[in-house]
Each structure stands twice: as C-alpha cells, then as structure tokens.
Amino acid sequence: MEAGGRRGRLRREAAEYYRALRVPERMEEALNQLFLQRPDDLYGELANYFSKFSKPPVICKLVGRKLFDAAGRPTLEVEIYCTVKNYEKRICSTVMAAHSQIPENALPETIEANEKERNYSVHTAVEWVNESLNTMLKHLDPTDQCQADKMLGEYFANKVEEKKEKERQEKEKQEEEAAKATPASSLRGPASTPKHKKGGRPATKLSVEASSIPAAEPAESVLCGSLAIGGASLAIAKAGATVSHVPLYLYTALLKHHQESPEGMTLPLPMVTLLNCEKNSPTKLKLVKEVMVIPPVELSLKQGIKRVLDIQKEIIRLLGSSGKKQPTLKISHLGCLTLGYDSLEQLLLQMQIVCSNIGLELGRDMYLAINCAAHDLMDYEKGKYEILTGTFKSPDEMVAMYVEMIDNFPFIIALIDPLRKEDREQWSSICCALGSKCFVIAEDAATQISKLKTEQSINIVKCSGVVLKYINQTKVSDLIELTGILDGQRHVTILGSQDVESSDESLVDLARFLPSLLQAVGLGARFLKLGGLSRGERVAKYNRLLAIEEELAANGALR
C-alpha cells in the first residue's frame, strides 16, 4: 500500500510539474502540426519545435591559451564555452594580434627586452582569462555585449589602479631609503658645475633646428595582461553572433544600430599593400614604408582583388625580364613584395609603367596610397627627417615636398603618417594644402582607441582620418562608440591590421559596422587596411571579405 501511495504521489507531482511548464499543451500542439506536415525527420522536427522553449545559452567557461602569431611570437587565444540545453558546448574562439611599438631599426637589446615583456604580458593575460574573467563572466548572456564590456572595463580599471598604487608604494619606499642614507657629498660644499653630460659623454650644442622641433612623446604605456580584455570582448561578440545564428558582421551592425537591421550594407574599400620598402635596406629611399593600391569604388571587391593581383604579377614579370639574374623575391611580414628604390620618382614611375603594361591607368583604374611612417625618419641630432640616405628635410620642408608630390602624381589619394604626431603645426599645414586632393591619415600618429574613448575627444593631429586597430584592452563597445565620435567629427575611419597578424578573421567582420564617411576624391567609401595578398594570415582576411560580399549580394543587401 505504501509503495502504491508513493507512486500515486509521484504521478501527481509529475503531472503538476509538466502542466506548470505547459508540456502537455505544447506536445499536443507539436504532434498535431507535425502529423499534417509528416516530415522525413520527425524527431528532428520535434527537437526544433521544443528548442525555441529552451533557456537561452549562458557563458559557463572562458579558456585562455598561449598561441603564436604569424611571426612565431606569443599571443593570446580566448575560447568561450556556453551552457546550451543543459550541456557545456564550445561556441567559438578568437586570437588576438599582439601590438608592438618597436621600430624597424631597433637595437638588439631593445628587441630582446620587448620579447621578454611580450612573453610576460601574454602569460598574465592567460592567467586573467582562466581565473578572474572566467569567474566574473560565468552565467552571463553572451548576447549582452554592453554588460560584458562594462564588467571588463571595470576589471581593467581596477588593475590600472592596483598598478598605480604599487608604483606609489615603491616610490615612497625608495624615498624613505634615500632619506635615511647620508651621502658624503652633503658634508662638502656645493659641487662644481659638471663639464660633461650624464654618462660621461661630452656635452654637445644642439643645432637650431634640433632645439626647435618638439621632443618625441613617450610611447603609450601598455598594462601587462591587457590582451585579455580585448580578447574576451571580441570572443563574447563572436559567441553572441553564433548563438543568435547570424554572421558577426551583421551582429555588430545590429549592435551599432541598436538592434535595427540596416536596409543595405556597403563593403569597405581595401587598401592592399603591394610593396614594402624597408627603411634599413641598402637602397637610398627611406620615405616610403608601404605602397598600397586602392581599386576604384565602382568595381566589386572580387574585380578589385583580381586587378591588384594582375599588377603584382606584372611587377614580378618585370623583375625577371630586366636582363639581370632573376632576383630572389622576398615576401614581407606585411604579405607583399619587399623592394628597395633610390628615389620616390623611380618608385612611382615604375608603378605607372607596370599599370600601363596591363592596360590600366593610375588615377582612373587604380589609385595609390603611401604609408610614410615618418616617426621612423627623424634624426633628432639634426632636427630633420632623413627621406633619402644623406638627404634631410625640416618639418616645413616636408610639407612643401608632399604638396609637390601630389601635384606631380595626383593618383596618390592617401598619405599615412606623413609626419610625426609631435609636428602638429605641420599636420595642419599639410591638411590645409592637400585636404581637397588626398586623405591625410594618422596611424601611428593617432592615440590608442581606449585613450581616445576615455578622453571623449579626438585629441590627435589635424587629419582627414584615423587608422583604428583592435589591440590590447580595446573592447567591441569601445570601437562602436569611437567610430560614432569620429563620424561626428567628419573623420575618415580605417580599420587596420597589425604589422604582424594572427589567423583570426574577425577584423573583417568588425569593419562592416564602421560609419558612413565623407565623399572625397572620387572614393565614397570607408577603407580596410589588411596588408598584402600573400601569407596565409593576410589572405584569409581577404577571403572572408570576398565571402561577405558574395553573401550580401545573394541576399540583395549589398549596396
């Protein structure tokens, strides 16, 4: 009797439990619908029907892992796991490209110190992800990007304050120790004025030019472990797109437009790096770091890429038919050919010849952009830029040179970092002189995204636009907010890749939500700077861009 009563009680509890969740009602509704449909996979359709009543996925685990980028340097991978229908499931991962501020001509000891710092930073980032961030973000809805980025931002701010407090305590300790010690020199009279600079080197009088140029600003500090913030934010965005069953580019567009689907979407114009001119090569030209080609806006991306590849093939053909021994072609870390020139005119005339040989005209069928990376050119003893080996120009002379260059070669429609960021007066001059003829873009001359957002103002040199890079503690919400600020200030926004990239393709999807830009010099579109069409990590991004173009066209959403 007791066993029967217990079974009866369990039946009543089960019936109440299922009725409260409307299981019988929904089961009857599903069976009635499916009987009429009679699908081939009945249980599959039942699973689809009931899945819409399941709880939404929530984050259950973050996994940080040390990987290597395209140059074999350590970087961070972040994996997102969610609880989906009561099971733990790996949703996605993202690999960050570690940012480096080391110039091409850095000393070996500087490079070694940078490598040690990078290793420590990645190690710290892995710890943050696997410990603090894993605990903090557990049970969060992956589609709540705003809340995730808010939590990540607060965590990072606390880490910054911890570092400041530690530095303050160390400084106080050093001051106390210095105060306790009584130096022998304090018992003597005042020391005579030293005749030499600190370090024993004779004091030298700076030239008028050197003393008149602004000193180089210190590199922006990067908190060790900051990669964890950017990696976690981007991984959560990818997870949100995955569980929402939409591609990342559409998901970020919905975030940008507050969940209102845009009527149509345009693709960014690619700035494809064709040549890398190493500044420490034996040839004379130092002014140019990258030569980039920009297809005209009326071409599809597929047509534009094909045209760029044709130009690249013709350059290689000319190198082989010069009558000399076939040169060994060197592919740069930027994914393009590495070539040296003795003058800017030699370089630009060769580009004209190459295009003419395949029936193209620069300024009509293809445009050029030049990355000058002028911050690497300054000789601080002379106070001038070394544009050719042994040829120096002052900041004002640089402005005059660029004006003459654009007058002589009007197919150049963009100059990137033509001056150091410290030469603000000359940036204003070059923008006034060339603003209607070409874009004057700040890349290394711009401030990091997180600092730009914190200051709520674009405190950068006067320019046409800015190259933004998703690095360190940058969050997806930061990028969305900052592009809105830039658009409001009528700056051209270019999303750029790192000098050394990872295989992650997310950058291409992020480029889709950038705001609309100025109509200028015939190019009414935003830009995407991904490097060249060689090396797997670069080509993967172009392939992703081609896939997006094809998908948008198939859906009738490509404008």
By annotation, the residues acting in catalysis are 472
Cβ neighbors of 341 (< 8 A, separation 6 or more) are: 277, 283, 284, 285, 288, 347, 350
First to last CA, the chain: 75
Give me the count of residues in the chain.
559
Tell me the C-alpha distance between 17 and 320, whole Å. Answer: 79
Using CA atoms, how far apart are residues 338 and 331, in angstroms rounded to an integer?
A: 6
Q: Which of 385, 449, 450 is nearest to 417 (CA)?
A: 385
CA distances from 240 to 133, 147, 233, 328 (A): 17, 12, 11, 46
Q: Give 213-270 as a DSSP string.
A: SPPPPPPPP--TTTHHHHHHHHHHHHHHHHHTTS-HHHHHHHHHTTTPPPS-B-PPEE
H/E stretch holding 475: none
331 φψ region: left (φ > 0), alpha (ψ -120 to 50), beta (else): beta
Report the relative pairing of strands 290-294 and 269-276 from DSSP bridges.
Answer: antiparallel
The Cα 460–Cα 149 span in angstroms is 25
Q: State the burial class of residue 526 (Cβ atoms within 10 Å of its Cβ: 0-12, 13-18, 19+).
A: buried
Could you tell me which residues are beta bridge partners of residue 74? 68
> Half-sphere exposure of 516 toward its Cβ, with a 13 Å CA cutoff?
8
Q: And the tokens for 303?
A: 């047509």
Nearest Cα neighbor of 473 from 110, 17, 144, 133 is: 133
User: What is the C-alpha to C-alpha distance for residues 270 and 301, in angstroms, rounded to an integer?
Assistant: 8
Element (H, E) at 414: strand 412-416
Q: Which residues pair with 76 in a beta bridge?
A: 66
Buried b (16+ CB within 10 A) or exposed e, 274-289: bbbbbbebebbbbbbb
Lookup: tokens for 3? 């066993």
User: What whole-number distance in Å separates Cα of residue 142 and Cα of residue 164?
Assistant: 32
* Tokens standing for residue 435: 């603003």
Looking only at the bridges linking them, the beta strands covering 378-379 and 367-371 are unpaired
**Of 116, 537, 545, 75, nearest in space to 333 by CA:** 537
DSSP line for 98-118: PP----TT--HHHHHHHHHHH
Is residue 363 left, alpha or beta, with left meaning phi > 0 and alpha meaning psi from -120 to 50? left
